[in-house]
Amino acid sequence: YNTKLHTSNCIRSIVENTKGVTYEIILVDNASTDGSQDLFRNDNRIKFVENNENLGFGKANNIGYKYAIGKYIFLLNSDTILLNNALKHFYDFAECSVNNIVCLGSLLLDKNNQIMHSFGCFPTISNILLHLLSVYTSRLNLNLEFNETRYIRERPFEVDYVTGADLFIRREIIEIYGFFDPVFFLYYEETDLQYRYSKARCKMLVIDGPMIYHIDGGSSHKQKKVSAKQMIYITDGRFKYIRKHYNLFSYFFFIIIYFLLRLIPVAINNYSVSEKIRFLSFLIKD
């Protein structure tokens, strides 16, 4: 969505680096307004799918999946660059793996070649609230944040979920257990997907070999200011995830504590007054 230049560079990196494996590129555009349609509509290297509105990450991938014919499905963000024959690395590993290894990912790199957010633990009420508490405890030099570097081991290693920026999936698992839940617009859809797969005793791994640069991460996603709009999307995804996987009592407990923990950070954040009102209104409404 509105990433014409990034998307063009991403496609170029796929074509230039991918060898020894048959593949197709399916590009789904979520009603971009930056001229993406004019650029990609007649690109014979890809299958170009145009949506009439911005459907979000999960729904757009569900549509793209209908056009795919491959044995494996590789989800790749438009703001990524393949630095090597990453697709072949994923394919070779999957072909030699047992069938319950269904999702693969890599350690994504930022512009400084530093490892950035690439995987994580499944969200729970406790770890989300601990994350929110870290805003307060950090002032006491108590770090409650999830630090994925602590979990990085010699690859391959098992994880709860791989981020959707580079997610390599066996098609047969999608055919059995489905793809993205359309209730999610942005954030937590790939987490929900892999949580459902894990309930079927499937495994997700981060492997060695693929090298992928993720532009969106910058030097560190923790150093970037999260916009009010993005925070609403993140919160919406969290609420939908908890509502789906917990009982009603736990859900209401969660949103009440969540609201209380977010009041002060939102109040002192350098968002505009209208952005603060918009975010708090979303919390109250939800």
What is the spatial distance between Cα 205 and Cα 160, in angstroms, rounded to a whole number? 8
Contact predicate 216/95, CB 8 Å: no
What average pLDDT does range 140-154 have in this prediction? 68
pLDDT at 268 > cutoff 70: yes
Band of pLDDT at residue 218, cut at 50, 70 and 90: very low
Tell me what pLDDT residue 220 has.
32
Quick one: pLDDT at residue 153? 79
What does pTM read for this prediction?
0.90
**Diameter over CA atoms, the chain:** 57
Burial level of 286, CB count in 10 A (0-12/13-18/19+)?
Answer: middle
Provide the pLDDT for residue 224: 55
Give the model's confidence band at 140: pLDDT under 50 very low, under 70 low, under 90 confident, else very high. Answer: low
Kind of pairing between the strands at 166-170 and 72-76:
antiparallel
The dihedral sign for the CA sequence 71, 72, 76, 82: negative
Tens digits of per-residue pLDDT, 253-266? 999 999 888 888 77
Give residue 227's pLDDT: 77
Chain centroid to Cα 19, Å, comes to: 26
Distance separating alpha carbons of residues 76 and 174, to the nearest angstrom:
17
pLDDT of residue 267: 74
Query: pLDDT category, 240, cuts 50, 70, 90?
Result: very high
Q: Please, which pLDDT band fits residue 164 given cuts at 50, 70 and 90?
A: very high
Of 170 and 221, the structure prediction assigns the larger pLDDT to 170
User: So what's the pLDDT on residue 281?
Assistant: 79
Look at residue 256 in the predicted model and tell me its pLDDT. 92
Model confidence pLDDT, tens digit, residues 22-58: 999 999 999 999 999 999 999 999 999 999 999 999 9
pLDDT digits (tens, 9 = 90+) for 105-131: 999 999 899 999 999 999 999 999 998
For position 269, what pLDDT does the model report?
75
∠28-77-99 over CA atoms, to 5°?
Answer: 95
